[in-house]
Structure 1
């Protein structure tokens, strides 16, 4: 990917993360916003939205780091197992392990009521549902069935590792952030895994155009010398 397209790619990832987190916060943290509107404190209300946008943008940077780490891991995995099929089975096992870890070691210690389990169950379904949707979309876009598992692995395992910051917390309002931070991570990761081929193709097209311009300048220079 060219530097220009990488900057575009990173920029839109940041914007998506910020916007998704800001919108999600209006729903998940409405009790935080409501007093500002009730008291007519519009500036404070907007400042709170901007703060949540920045929080989402920050998570998007983490998601970008995780994405490029995954690309390296994927290539290493294929090289180690020397078979895409075997590597896919390894990824399936890792997906299961991570989901069990989330339920047993992350959700269970913080679940004190049935309501807590309902919330955690919904979040788990959102994580898995988003992964399945993104994986199916990726297969349709690429016409390559084997990318289903690798996309699922990225969306579940890598997103969970990025989500671990909130999952490991135990503050009084940690459930709010557990719910809130999942959405920008999923949105940014889905954008990255789906749109990377587009930006790679654009980079290849830009390089070809640049090469044509260079050849045209060389020919023009030769013609001028003649």
Structure 2
């Protein structure tokens, strides 16, 4: 990838991270922020927006670090495992799915709590990953499906670990959605950038 294209990818992902975090931030913390809008407190609203932009930049950088780390791991996996790399990735996806449900429930579930909410979030992320992987495979080739799903599911959850460990609802969702959006954007735009002649 040419440095000019890498800079475009970096800056556009930063922008997407910031915008998505602003939207998600106001959505998940609306009860805290609605009074600012009702009072038309422009200064406070701008301060919140600036804070969310900064947080969005951090989420975007985490996403980009995960993306480039995965590109390296993927090449390493292809070299080491060759034809069984895709089955290895499927096993890892299943392992991470189980861990996300079971260990979160063990650590944060209270006596009498249902496992269903823990299962739902894992399934929702998996469905989103399947959709993005399907789009990626349609845009490129069928062989891209499993690597794309692995990135969207496993890498996204690894990037999301700080919020999982805190287990506070507003941070939980505030970090998840921008990460998924940034990861999906990078995955779907990469082949277009690589195919650019300039």
- Residue 68 of structure 1 corresponds to 68
RMSD over aligned CA atoms reads 1.9
Task: Return the alpha-carbon distance in structure 1 between the equivalents of residues 17 and 124 of structure 2.
Answer: 17
TM-score (norm 2): 0.92
Decide whether aligned partners of structure 1 residues 115 and 12 sit closer, same or farther in structure 2, where only a CA change above 3 A counts. farther
- Is residue 104–residue 118 contact of structure 2 (8 Å, CA) maintained in 1? no
Taking structure 1 as reference, are residues 29 and 160 closer, same or farther at Cα in structure 2, changes over 3 Å only? same
Question: Which of the pair has more CA radius of gyration?
Answer: 1
Where does structure 2 lack aligned partners over 5 or more consecutive residues?
Answer: none
Deviation at 1:41, TM superposition (A): 1.6
Structure 1: gaps spanning 5 or more residues = 207-226
Give the number of aligned pairs: 198
Q: Distance in 2 between matches of 1:48 and 1:116?
A: 35
8 Å CA contact 1:18, 1:57 repeated in 2: yes
Query: Where does 1:16-165 land on structure 2 (aligned, <5 Å)?
Result: 16-83=16-83, 86-112=84-110, 120-142=118-140, 144-165=141-162
**Per-residue deviation at 1:105?**
1.6
The Cα offsets for residues 79-101 of structure 1, whole Å up to 9 and x where unpaired, read as 11121xx1110000000111111
Q: Deviations over 1:18-56 (max 9, x none)?
A: 111110112111012112123332210221122112211
- How far off its partner does 1:106 sit? 2.5
Distance 2:5 2:94 in 1: 35
**Contact 1:123–1:179 under 8 Å retained in 2:** no
CA distance in 2, matches of 1:5, 1:69: 18
**Quick check: 109-118 or 72-81, which moved more?**
109-118
CA distance in 1, matches of 2:62, 2:49: 20
Pairwise CA distance, 1:190: 0.5
The answer to whether the 8 A contact 2:160-2:175 is kept is: yes
Q: Is the 8 A contact 2:62 2:159 kept in 1?
A: yes
Between 1:149-158 and 1:115-124, the stretch displaced more is 115-124
Shift of 1:13: 0.5
